[in-house]
Amino acid sequence: MKACAAFMVQYNNATSIFNNFYGTLSMLANNAFTEGMDSYEGSSVYKFQIKKMFIRISSEWDQFWAMVKYIFEVKYALYIDYITQTTADLQPDLQKLYLAVDASLLRQGIPDHDRRAWLYTADILTHELVKSHQSFCRDLVRESHVPNFGDAFKWADLDHIRRHTHELVRAICPVDITMDDNVHLAMQILGQRITSEERQDEAAMKTYDRKEHAEWREDAADRIEAYLQHKQEVAEEKEKEKQAEIQRREERARRRRQGKREFLASDAVADKLSEKYKVTRL
């Protein structure tokens, strides 16, 4: 019985960590794909096999979110609003990634670079999505010592979307592309922002503050109070550090002023001595 309870604690903790970053990354990847699909829809490229590929991937994303709805049940609306908030907060970072990809394509002379950039962005994000899923499952097994623990998250394996997105990119742009360092940097920053606990907490608070989630806010009252207390403590600590730094700067400035006065005083004494004893100062 104790083993079962311990496992459920591990499972709940793992689920919380997983949902926080994976849902956000999934929605970012889905949004990038949707931007690409919207930009191509109605164009001369959007027909026959290419159109079928777009529709297939769009359907696969719909199936994934239907699975999310099934798993979260009554908390689905709360969770979707949460990751919608996190995604909105990260929109500038997604835009920077897209612009970095677009600039990289433009430098390599790729035609239709602005539309293709959204598909390459979706391709990069779905690759990162699958990689993070695999890494999380491996870490979960290693840390928990439960061999089949990763199976609990098989529902979130989106390798088929990764493959089909990559196939679509290659079908539209069948040339080898090299992404420059700005793309890798933008992706690194996006990854750091996705996993930022501070950003996650802020998004959660914004979600709980929504009128339709008043009941969930009441249920989470203890956790919210603990978070607000922690936030206040962090703010107070930052203010202390700020004041301490101000004092250190003032002390350094005081010492510089004091040193300057002492130098001028000694300089004046030396002048008087040189006049009396006819000393040439070097």
DSSP string, 58-76: HHHHHHHHHHHHHHHGGGH
Q: Which of 111, 119, 112, 125 is nearest to 37 (CA)?
A: 119
Q: Is the pTM of this model over 0.85?
A: no
Q: What is the pLDDT of residue 246?
A: 86
Quick check: is 229 in a domain?
no
Boundary-marking domain end, from 193, 219, 245: 219
* pLDDT band (50, 70, 90) for residue 145: confident
Q: Can you tell me the distance from the alpha carbon of 230 to that of 224, in angstroms, rounded to the nearest whole number?
A: 10
Q: For residues 109 and 249, state if they share a domain.
A: no
Q: For residues 278 and 153, state if they share a domain.
A: no
Structure tokens at 21: 């970053």
Quick check: is 114 in a domain?
yes
**Structural domain boundaries, residue 276:** 236-282
85 Cβ contact partners less than 8 Å away, ≥ 6 residues apart: 203, 206, 207
Q: Can you tell me the distance from the alpha carbon of 145 to that of 247, in angstroms, rounded to the nearest whole number?
A: 50
* pLDDT band (50, 70, 90) for residue 275: low
CB 207 within 8 A of CB 81: yes
The total number of residues shown for the chain amounts to 282
Q: For residues 36 and 172, state if they share a domain.
A: yes
Q: What is the pLDDT of residue 277?
A: 58
Q: For residues 280 and 200, state if they share a domain.
A: no
**1 pLDDT above the threshold of 60:** no
